[in-house]
């Protein structure tokens, strides 16, 4: 995470911090559209690391909205046998991709799509799920990354601290 932090600092971002060892970086940037900043980061990471790294930029207000959204109100509070993940997308899913994702729903797995995020509620153990990373990637038809809602809440809280 120290190297990742240094790579972001070399792009002249300010207040760079990594949160949880899974590629989450918080930073301040002056000006520029989110998509332009994402492309700049991706180019820099590809050059520095030698492989493609998709990035999913969210502003503090967007993270707060993601945390506040209740996609499955009947499942709250989440029990020990449930897991809620947020799937971050580059752009909202088109209709075929949204239909493909929703077709993966079972008694174990539920999905909800809202803007550039999809929410995945899993009942039971992960081994009970029929949703594999390959099936999820095929349904989404584009780059994505998922984080447990607990991680997303920690990121949002770090931005308001």
Same domain, 93 and 131: yes
pTM (whole model) above 0.85 = yes
121, β-bridge pairs: 84, 110
**CATH number of the domain to which 80 belongs:** 3.30.70
Q: Which domain holds residue 19?
A: 2-49
Distance from C-alpha of 5 to C-alpha of 127, rounded to nearest angstrom: 34
| Shared domain check, 7 and 44 | yes
Which residues on neighbouring strands pair with residue 14, listed in sequence order?
28
pLDDT digits (tens, 9 = 90+) for 74-127: 766 666 678 899 999 999 999 999 999 999 999 899 999 999 999 999 988 777
- Give 124's Cβ-side CA count (13 Å radius): 10
101 close to 111: Cβ distance less than 8 angstroms: yes
Burial 3-40, CB ≥16 within 10 A → b, else e: ebbebbeeeebeebebbeeeebbbbebeeeeeeebbee
Q: Would residue 54 count as lying in a domain?
A: no
Q: What mean pLDDT is predicted for residues 29-42? A: 86
pLDDT value, residue 47: 96
Give the chain's domain count: 2
pLDDT in tens, 123-149: 887 778 889 888 999 999 989 999 999
Q: How confident is the model at residue 76, as a pLDDT?
A: 67
Q: Are residues 106 and 30 in the same domain?
A: no
Whether residues 98 and 142 share a domain: the answer is yes
């Amino acid at each position: 995470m120290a190297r990742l932090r240094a790579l972001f600092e070399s792009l002249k971002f300010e207040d760079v911090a990594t949160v949880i060892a899974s590629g989450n970086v918080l930073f301040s940037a002056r000006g520029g559209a989110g998509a332009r900043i994402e492309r700049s980061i991706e180019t820099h990471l590809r050059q520095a690391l030698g492989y493609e790294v998709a990035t999913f930029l969210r502003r503090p207000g967007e993270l707060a909205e993601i945390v506040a959204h209740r996609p499955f109100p009947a499942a709250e509070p989440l029990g020990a046998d449930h897991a809620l993940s947020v799937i971050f997308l580059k752009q909202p899913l088109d209709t075929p991709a949204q239909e493909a994702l929703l077709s993966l729903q079972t008694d174990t797995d539920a999905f909800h799509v809202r803007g550039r995020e999809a929410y995945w509620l899993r009942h039971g153990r992960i081994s009970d799920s029929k949703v594999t990373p390959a099936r999820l990637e095929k349904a989404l038809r584009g780059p994505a990354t998922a984080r447990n809602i607990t991680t997303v809440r920690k990121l949002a809280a770090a931005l308001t601290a």
